[in-house]
Structure 1
Amino acid sequence: MSIVEKIGMKEAAERIKKAQKITFLTGAGVSTPSGIPDYRSLKGIYQGHEQPEYLLSHEAMVQEPEKFYQFVQQLYHPDAQPNVIHKVIAGLEKEKAVWLVTQNIDGLHEKAGSKNRINFHGSLYSCSCRKCGCPVPWTSYVVSDRHEDCGGQIRPNIVLYGEGFQEKVLEDAVSAVEQAETIVIVGTSFQVHPFCDLLAYKQPQAEIIVVNQTPISLFEPYAFVEADGVNVFQQIEEIKE
């Protein structure tokens, strides 16, 4: 069982603001306030599908490209804008040593200006042709999954079920966790491997703060604020140095 220290929003905001070497680990709950559905909630994109993981798998992309493409198209929300969580994380990067490792593939952390960012599962807004290997604009992909130059299948550069991770992505994520004095987990159930395994690389003395609507299960003690991340990060924004 996790050893959980429950703290209020104000204290969480103050601890995060005071920390000097922070690594944020973020999930789908960070982007829901921007209008992007999560995956597994009652309003999530998996609802109504019998095998949603299959539809986001390498196997589906190869064996049933039309089904795969139809499912992936609904993941795009190009008009969505960063909310206060994305903006505060990007802003803190200008003040202190901040790294961000995100499960999200929606590009909002990038839009907000986070530079020290590791897109752990890739990005929908980076696409390439499986036949010729050329990069393809995402704007072309949402119109057709066929590359007009060679007829090959276009894919978003995201990690699908059944695919491995690039070594550099794993190394960068581990490094981001290793250097942190404070690790802030935001908007994720923290159950997807290998993302949730990153904590194995934290420094023994590093503090973990979890900002989430529900508790998560960790093998490490953590401070937990049960709240909408928007409210916590608004408080961080309001704290004056």
Structure 2
Amino acid sequence: MKNKPILVISTGAGISAESGITTFRDAGGLWENYPVMQVASAQGFAQNPELVHNFYNKRRKELLKAEPNGAHKALAELEKDFDVYVITQNVDDLHERAGSKNVLHLHGELMKIRSVSNPDYIETLDTDHLETTPATRGRNGDPMRPHIVFFQEPVPNIEKAVEIVMSADIFVVIGTSLAVYPAAGLIEYTRPGIPVFYIDPNPASTAGHPDVTVIRKKATEGMRDLTEILHAYVEKHKK
């Protein structure tokens, strides 16, 4: 092949669950300890920013203990044969730590904070900021907020995500219920006829997309199957 095929991956909480990242919607998940609108909404932040900062700081400390799993690493390995673009609903940095180079975060990034008054001013936190109190002010003195897309806020990267999906030669969904919009709607923008795969142990209905190949497994195991399929695809399309 003269050019690498474009492989676009849409990932959700299921790919990070195997790294020990607690998901909001799981039984025993974080949202059960806090009313969701208090810690993950624009209104909640306006009413009690200290509570929200403390909540996300706790999540950051948990993230620092987590490691990328086999599924994250397998996606990074696929960059040898494909132009890989990861579009993730997750706010963790496990894709980047596994080696993926092109990662678009739809719902923000946990290890970053941004200015309340200037959304373009963003800082990346390090471990020093997590040992004491959350960073509520930036190095420039601005009041800061988590670099997270709260409930009641638009998803700023969705248009860019749609453009990426429309360019895909192969599209893969991993570890998502296909219920959280607008991310769940990305599958609607795939070009007709391209291979589409869906990895999840409890997949949502794909009745509206009869050509989707469902791999009913957890992310790490499902990625082993997908890697074999994609290697066969590469061999078939070699010129």
TM-score by length of 2: 0.81
Instruction: Give, in angstroms, the shift of residue 150 of structure 1.
Output: 6.3
Residue 73, structure 1, aligned to residue 73, structure 2: no
Which amino acid counterpart does residue 18 of structure 2 have in structure 1? P
Match for residue 191 of structure 1?
Answer: 179
Residue 96, structure 1, aligned to residue 82, structure 2: yes
Match for residue 165 of structure 1?
Answer: 155
Which amino acid counterpart does residue 9 of structure 2 have in structure 1? F
Which amino acid counterpart does residue 162 of structure 1 have in structure 2? Q
Match for residue 9 of structure 1?
Answer: none
Residue 26, structure 1, aligned to residue 11, structure 2: yes
> Measured at CA, do residues 148 and 29 of structure 1 come closer, stay the same or move farther in structure 2, by a change above 3 Å?
closer
Report the more deviating stretch, 24-33 or 132-141.
Answer: 132-141
Which amino acid counterpart does residue 209 of structure 2 have in structure 1? E
Supply the distance in 1 between the matched residues of 2:149 and 2:91 (Cα, whole angstroms).
Answer: 9
Which of 104, 110, 123 aligns to 1:136? It is 123
Residue 117, structure 1, aligned to residue 103, structure 2: yes
> Measured at CA, do residues 132 and 224 of structure 1 come closer, stay the same or move farther in structure 2, by a change above 3 Å?
closer
TM-score by length of 1: 0.81
> Measured at CA, do residues 138 and 225 of structure 1 come closer, stay the same or move farther in structure 2, by a change above 3 Å?
same
SS at match of 1:34: coil
Contact preservation (8 Å) 1:136, 1:154: no
Which amino acid counterpart does residue 114 of structure 2 have in structure 1? S
SS at match of 2:7: strand
Which amino acid counterpart does residue 88 of structure 2 have in structure 1? T
Percent identity over paired residues: 30
Instruction: Give, in angstroms, the shift of residue 33 of structure 1.
Output: 1.2
Instruction: Give, in angstroms, the shift of residue 238 of structure 1.
Output: 7.4
Supply the distance in 2 between the matched residues of 1:37 and 1:212 (Cα, whole angstroms).
Answer: 17
Supply the distance in 2 between the matched residues of 1:110 and 1:136 (Cα, whole angstroms).
Answer: 17
Match for residue 106 of structure 1?
Answer: 92
Supply the distance in 1 between the matched residues of 2:46 and 2:76 (Cα, whole angstroms).
Answer: 37
Aligned-residue RMSD, C-alpha: 2.5
* Residues 51-76 of structure 1: CA deviation (Å, up to 9, x unaligned): 31442011111111122123222321
SS at match of 2:10: strand
Which amino acid counterpart does residue 221 of structure 2 have in structure 1? N
Which of 17, 28, 40 aligns to 1:56? It is 40
- Note the residue ranges of structure 1 that are not aligned, 5 or more in a row: 1-18
Match for residue 11 of structure 1?
Answer: none
Contact preservation (8 Å) 1:93, 1:99: no
- Of structures 1 and 2, the one scoring higher in RCO (CA 8 A, sep 6+) is 1
SS at match of 1:25: strand
Residue 212, structure 1, aligned to residue 196, structure 2: no
Contact preservation (8 Å) 1:159, 1:165: yes
Instruction: Count the aligned residue pairs.
Output: 220
SS at match of 1:75: helix
